[in-house]
Structure 1
């Protein structure tokens, strides 16, 4: 990679990291799901970066985003760690799959498989990281009660995972995958467009 190309890539990556960080602060609750779960689309710039620049570049953007978010964390860093594990896994898988099947079908396959990984890692992160953290702040019964007030089917932590966390991350994966799929081709032409070379000046005094 030439120096100019490297600088362009780093500039775009910094821009994507900034956009992703801002989007993480814009959250929206979903009806019939626990109040702790709020949807944001900060993963879309990360997936776009995985397709445009590569999987590890996308992981770097995810790390920057979550480190910045640590400055205003309300979970002692546990929420940011869970977010990093989920989105980094999603981006790594999507980036590598799309690299080997570099077409529209490959994009759809990678985003679909990546969504499954997002759901799985999200369930594990909640079970082993987020729930133990929140259980130190409020009793498990209170957590279940708050969820049951929204959805009566959530009567245990296991039900919270299956009825709340899994559908939530499935919706999240579909939303950011759809945004990535719709925006990628338009951004690809812009990001990878090569600047036109300056016309060569002809020195007429040397012409014979």
Structure 2
């Protein structure tokens, strides 16, 4: 294979990677719009969505950089109608990176199902832990400009009366919620990845 042929092949791969990453970013944006509350389990202002799923698929199929790019794309687009002044999107991006980066790196090191599972689980744990701090230091300081802290805590206390402060709320509610949210994306990814991987990588026939 000549150097020119190899260069052309590399360019095709790069163009495809960019295109597929963009499409997954668009899909993640749509899934982010389709968020929904989970009554009785978490306060109504905290929504559930599956927008990390395309990012995880990208991280496995094309590497962690593509996964991070998907997280970036969906949050940049979501900024156009942000109701949080951008802090919600910033927090979502940080958490998304915490999720897909370990998953993508561990899987890239050795592409086995075991490594994929370990990476995804590690990412879900990291995302859940970081969510406590991103909410405490980034999200809720801005939210309190629109909703008093007493009202925020009341929403948590309506579900669990033992919540006495924001740390309690974030540790008892947001952290497990974020972990389960990550695990849902992991489960779906494991169910569909084998089928969609050839399409994402361009190796399907």
- TM-score norm. by structure 1 comes to 0.89
Residue 23 of structure 2 aligns with which residue?
15
Counterpart contact for 2:62–2:201, Cα < 8 Å:
no
The separation in 1 between residues aligned to 2:15 and 2:192, in whole angstroms, is: 23
Residue 201 of structure 1 aligns with which residue?
none
The separation in 2 between residues aligned to 1:193 and 1:59, in whole angstroms, is: 20
Where structure 2 has 5 or more consecutive residues not aligned to the other structure, the ranges are 1-8
Residue 79 of structure 1 aligns with which residue?
88
- Aligned with residue 69 of structure 2, among 54, 57, 60: 60
Residue correspondence of structure 1 range 41-120 to structure 2 within 5 A = 41-120=50-129
Residue 173 of structure 1 aligns with which residue?
182
Per the alignment, do residues 159 and 194 of structure 1 end up closer, same or farther by CA in structure 2, a change over 3 Å counting?
Answer: closer
SS of the counterpart of 1:137? coil
Q: Which deviates more, 110-119 or 28-37?
A: 28-37
Counterpart contact for 1:98–1:110, Cα < 8 Å:
yes
Residue 13 of structure 2 aligns with which residue?
5
The reply to whether residue 28 of structure 1 matches residue 44 of structure 2 is: no
The separation in 1 between residues aligned to 2:18 and 2:166, in whole angstroms, is: 42
Counterpart contact for 1:59–1:92, Cα < 8 Å:
yes
Q: Which deviates more, 88-97 or 182-191?
A: 182-191
- TM-score norm. by structure 2 comes to 0.90
Q: Displacement, 1:195?
A: 7.4
- Aligned with residue 164 of structure 1, among 167, 173, 176: 173
Number of residue-to-residue matches in the alignment = 196
Task: Provide, for residues 54-83 of structure 1, a one-character-per-residue CA deviation record: whole Å limited to 9, x for no partner.
Answer: 111211121111010000100000000000
Per the alignment, do residues 143 and 7 of structure 1 end up closer, same or farther by CA in structure 2, a change over 3 Å counting?
Answer: same
Counterpart contact for 2:198–2:204, Cα < 8 Å:
no
Q: Displacement, 1:150?
A: 2.8
Residue 135 of structure 2 aligns with which residue?
126
Counterpart contact for 1:23–1:41, Cα < 8 Å:
yes
Q: Which deviates more, 102-111 or 8-17?
A: 8-17
Q: Displacement, 1:174?
A: 0.9
Q: Displacement, 1:152?
A: 2.1
Task: Provide, for residues 141-188 of structure 1, a one-character-per-residue CA deviation record: whole Å limited to 9, x for no partner.
Answer: 111112212332323211111111112101101111111221211111
Residue 198 of structure 2 aligns with which residue?
189
Residue correspondence of structure 1 range 150-161 to structure 2 within 5 A = 150-161=159-170
Alignment RMSD: 1.5
Counterpart contact for 2:37–2:46, Cα < 8 Å:
yes
